[in-house]
Structure 1
């Protein structure tokens, strides 16, 4: 029996030490996200082989900024709890162990309640109307992303509208177009990345081709990039990237000047537009991200498994100390 309890103490210490490291990693990720969301998204794109353009559209949005600060808070909380857990195991303080075990049980209860609440919100299609509610939702979301894998399938209906609006704003302020409007040496990096995405996934605009009808939605394109060969201004309806192509090898090989040889219709961008893609890129992005969701699912599953083992060892240690205390009390009472 003593060997079993000693082994549980060892496991509990090892798991607490592991959670100390995890807390530091989460904290560092939060600092990085809050300080420079664009670079961390580029890093994620590099290691996950996700199209960098997909993640670039999320950069510097309010959602990502809030997520960074919440990751900092959660990382700090995990670190503190795990550090206290190590101290409890080493010191073998029974009162501290009772308090710590009780608190960890409350954490588990909180997770269960939040999962139930989010599932209930999803079933009733309640949409957050205020920024305060959005912040609360983000807190619950990231907490559960760290501890509960089921939340991955419960949150998109809440944050997608805000992210889509932020993406539209970024696109409007930065996109000017490339092929047919400028010389290759003058291509803007953001516009080239956006055109790459639209061509590869056969989509047009964040919300669809209608984005290019209004100067409010595509401001910079209307001011600087509304050109195609000899046409300009109201004569141009769409950027070349929205057109249908027979193949996209010219873009993959960076032979941008040869784009017309691959177009289904070289008059596509001119009013009235013909042979263009009508799918909104915002509808393509979740599908693309969904292809790379396995790491996002495995990480919280592994985390949750460790958490269950951790709580099991904590309770075992708690009941061992409790039974030992009761035995000593009965022994000396007799």
Structure 2
């Protein structure tokens, strides 16, 4: 039986919704893949994981978003076909699948919020990460090779133009200084040349290594080459920003999907046949 006038309106709106729905699926897929594939994000998350025992939640939320994005294409198929054929059966499947995807995305948002609460970077960065910085070998000046922690922390120090967790003095008395007494601080604590390797910089990558080292040795000396702030706040702000993106996208798309459920119910009510 043909749909009523109101159902015809719902049918049209359902098509428009599904177009937006497909775009939201692309957004979910893109953000999820970006968080899992971007090398700089992966390295910075490794820094965060040093200070946090629960280090898999960000990856888990990203995977949930990717799965949700992929599921949107299947859900959209049932929505389009159900609207075209005015089939209550297909629309019923569409509604069920949409509710499932919506539930998964809400779970992703809640998980991200829980992860944010458990992360407690402000307290843990000054304990675990500071301890790691003090005790890790970081760099071997003889071989010119970086320890895994040194590689990832170089990324953080370059990304946020910082040195140490709370400042360059974090390296005082560290294993790094004991093993490299002539260096005192990693090269990544200094301004690097354009195009230099942020992950494994060498002395030749530093704009002015001699001046940077002098600025470290002389506390009262104006800091022009040495990164004078610690990485603590930069890492906290970065991690929170990524979590806000995940929370906003997951909950925003879930709200959009709720509108799709309402439209599908509206269309079903206007179709005279039983499910």
Q: When the two structures are superposed, what TM-score results if normalisation uses the length of structure 2?
A: 0.58
Shift of 1:20: 3.4
Report the secondary structure of 1:155's partner residue.
helix
- Residue of structure 2 in register with 1:92 after alignment: 86
Selected match of 1:256 from 193, 209, 216: 209
Structure 2 unaligned segments of length 5 or more: list them.
50-54, 194-206, 220-227
- Residue of structure 1 in register with 2:13 after alignment: 11
Label 1:76 to 1:83 Cα distance change in 2 as closer, same or farther (>3 A).
same
Structure 1 residue 290 corresponds to structure 2 residue 250: no
Shift of 1:313: 0.9
Shift of 1:106: 6.3
Selected match of 1:240 from 179, 185, 192: 185
- Residue of structure 1 in register with 2:47 after alignment: 57
- Residue of structure 2 in register with 1:331 after alignment: none
Q: How many residues align?
A: 236
- 2:58 and 2:66 map into 1 onto residues whose CA distance is 13
- 1:31 and 1:175 map into 2 onto residues whose CA distance is 33
- Deviation readout 1:55-77 (Å, 9 max, x if unpaired): 46369x75555455444433332
- 1:265 and 1:211 map into 2 onto residues whose CA distance is 13
What's the C-alpha RMSD, in Å, of the aligned pairs?
A: 5.1
- 2:29 and 2:242 map into 1 onto residues whose CA distance is 24
Decide whether the 8 Å contact of 2:78 with 2:91 is kept in 1: no
- Residue of structure 1 in register with 2:106 after alignment: 144
Structure 1 residue 193 corresponds to structure 2 residue 155: yes
Decide whether the 8 Å contact of 2:116 with 2:240 is kept in 1: no
Report the secondary structure of 2:90's partner residue.
helix
Decide whether the 8 Å contact of 2:6 with 2:270 is kept in 1: no
Shift of 1:54: 3.5
Decide whether the 8 Å contact of 1:21 with 1:79 is kept in 2: no
- Deviation readout 1:237-290 (Å, 9 max, x if unpaired): xx526xxxxxx8x62673233113322647xxxxxxxxxx997x5675223433
Decide whether the 8 Å contact of 1:26 with 1:74 is kept in 2: yes
Decide whether the 8 Å contact of 1:201 with 1:284 is kept in 2: no
Selected match of 1:314 from 240, 256, 264: 264
Label 1:81 to 1:171 Cα distance change in 2 as closer, same or farther (>3 A).
farther
Shift of 1:9: 0.9
Q: When the two structures are superposed, what TM-score results if normalisation uses the length of structure 1?
A: 0.50
- 2:69 and 2:129 map into 1 onto residues whose CA distance is 28
Shift of 1:6: 1.7
